[in-house]
Amino acid sequence: MADIDGIKNAKQFAEDVAFANTGNFHVKGANNLDWGMKDRLSRIFNPITGKTVMLAFDHGYFMGATAGLERLDLLIPRLAEHADCLMGTRGAIRTSVPANYNKSIALRVSSGSSILQDDLSRESMVVSIEEAIKMNASAIAVQTFIGAEGQKETIEELNRAVNLGSRYSIPTLGVVAVGKDMERTSRYFTLATRMLAEFGVQIVKTYYCDDFEKVAAACPVPLVVAGGKKIPEQDALTLAYKSIQGGAAGVDMGRNIFQSEKPEEMIQAVNKVVHHGFTDKEAYEFFLDLANEKISN
């Protein structure tokens, strides 16, 4: 058995020191990857800013038609131009996203549970790598439950996805799914994000937490931060701002965009934070201006 007694807490994160092995490539941890991986990562992460706005609308794979996502065919065309990457299931993308948008796709390939169950932590990779290739996916997304019942099987499935993705140079987006009894601390997220990176994913999706700088510094691949449940727009922009300031390479935001009463204005404000250096205050003012302009037109 591994010796886990007396583990020392990590503390030397050198948060102020930039990641070392960058070469001339703009995505953290990707300098040693091959051309195909780099090409796909460059479709997700803007080569000028190094960052990404991912629009997440994959919630239906375990929640069905949830608030804001009732009509993907009407929603996505309103938002897509302001996103760098669309994160969804094959069913959502094939049916409701025009194929001429030419946006990068983060294809959700894991599933296995639904909100009808207590334990959501049992997921496996259910979409084949051939499907990801056919859909020209720029990444495959796999949920991994750290500290939950399904931890072992989701870790195995994540590694299977990384193996398959590596075969065809398709990056894997590892999604940190928080076990229901876990506390959302920097200690937990440092563990979970680092585990996923060491399993070989090229991108990690996680949540914001206090001391996020340490989480980001300890993870050798880019972090994208999920929005989580709907909060007021101003607060969601602060979340995005703090995430970027803390070292995130972007956001992977869903409900705080599509459940806003002003989703188009909201995604544009998020884009300003991620790509244009707006503070949360500036972005909220921008959001209000856009919203008011629309009302007065």
E strands in 41-94: 52-56, 85-88
Measured from the Cβ of residue 249, the count of other Cβ atoms closer than 10 Å reads 25
CB of 143 to ligand R5P, least distance (A): 7
- Contacts of 229-232 with C-beta under 8 Å, sequence gap 24+, read 229/255, 230/255, 230/256, 230/259, 230/260, 231/256
Query: Which structure tokens are listed for 203?
Result: 């991108």
| Of 33 and 243, CB closest to ligand R5P | 243
Euclidean distance between CA atoms 219 and 19, whole angstroms: 10
| Of 38 and 193, CB closest to ligand R5P | 193
CB of 93 to ligand R5P, least distance (A): 13
Euclidean distance between CA atoms 164 and 154, whole angstroms: 15
Torsion of CA 165, 104, 265, 246, to 10 degrees: 40
| Of 204 and 253, CB closest to ligand R5P | 253
CB of 65 to ligand R5P, least distance (A): 14
Residues contributing to the site for ligand R5P (CB under 6 A): 56, 58-59, 87, 175, 226-228, 252-256
CB of 189 to ligand R5P, least distance (A): 14
214 is catalytic: no
Catalytic residue of the set 38, 51, 205, 214 = 205
Phi, psi of 21 (to 5 degrees): -90, 70
| Of 162 and 251, CB closest to ligand R5P | 251
- So which residues are the catalytic ones? 205
